[in-house]
Amino acid sequence: MDKVDSSLSPQEHSQANEAICKVEAASKSYPQGDASVEALRSVGLSIKTGAFVAVMGASGSGKSTLLHLIAGLTSPTGGSVVVDGVDLSTLSDAALTRFRRERIGLIFQSFNLVPALNASNNILLPLMAGGMKDDRSANVKELASRLGIDHRLEHRPDSLSGGEQQRVAIARALITEPAVLLADEPTGSLDSTTGQSICKLLRDLCDQQGRTIILVTHEPSVAVWADQVVVLKDGQIIEEFPACEFQDAQSLAAHYQEILDEGLPSPQAVASTN
């Protein structure tokens, strides 16, 4: 699905039409005793700049493995992963670490903030890890204000609400201006109202700033905020559909359940993975 703002220049248009993330025939198996588990089997996915994609599937279907491949946290057993024009398999360990720090924003269910640091320093962490020397407090303030946490910057994680902690984690993920924002069950530790406010925030980041977001979730009420939904089953993409086809989370949930019950890859999904 195109997410192209008509106010963009022709050059920006062509950038926006390019795939920022391309997964081709990617497989991943993990050794398990004498056998192996095939977590992903020949998965193909092409995500355009500025798209918001939700990856759904039952527990063990391979969602986190797919996200970890895109993040360069693990490497595929077969196939390739290209993010922001870089084939991740061509990078040395050190270059991959730098690429991840600078070009990938990661958000987790459990926030993963450093307890001893206040919100401001948590947000600055990726820049500090990259050897930042200049004062970036203005960038932190601007980002925090956009995310509604500017009044909480001096607080440590244990005095922030879950929603505030996740906003700090999102600010930390954005401080390097990454090419892609990857979120693994970002609302999984939050009550439903706070979870919905985080979904709205992600939607706004996509609409207002052209952020590319790939989000893993079990929840139809989260997936409904995305542009495109990708459904995994047993390590394969069995369906892809636009979320806008569904008026609300309930109707998306009903469609999702039908897909899981049928369970076989549709001809379209097979074609798009080949």
Query: Which residues make up the interface to ligand ATP (CB under 6 A)?
Result: 30, 32, 37, 39, 57, 59-65
Shortest reach from residue 11's CB to ligand ATP, in Å: 37
Shortest reach from residue 204's CB to ligand ATP, in Å: 26
| Beta carbon nearer to ligand ATP, 59 or 274 | 59
Shortest reach from residue 40's CB to ligand ATP, in Å: 8
| Beta carbon nearer to ligand ATP, 56 or 168 | 56
Shortest reach from residue 53's CB to ligand ATP, in Å: 15
Q: How far apart are CA 219 and CA 90, in angstroms?
A: 35
| Beta carbon nearer to ligand ATP, 64 or 122 | 64
Nearest to 48 by CA among 106, 104, 2: 2
| Beta carbon nearer to ligand ATP, 57 or 157 | 57
Shortest reach from residue 108's CB to ligand ATP, in Å: 12
Q: How far apart are CA 96 and CA 109, in angstroms?
A: 23
Task: Report the SS3 class of residue 51.
Answer: coil
| Beta carbon nearer to ligand ATP, 61 or 228 | 61
CB contact at 8 A, 239 and 266: yes
DSSP alpha helix (H) spans, the chain = 10-17, 63-71, 93-103, 119-129, 137-146, 162-174, 192-209, 220-223, 249-262, 267-273
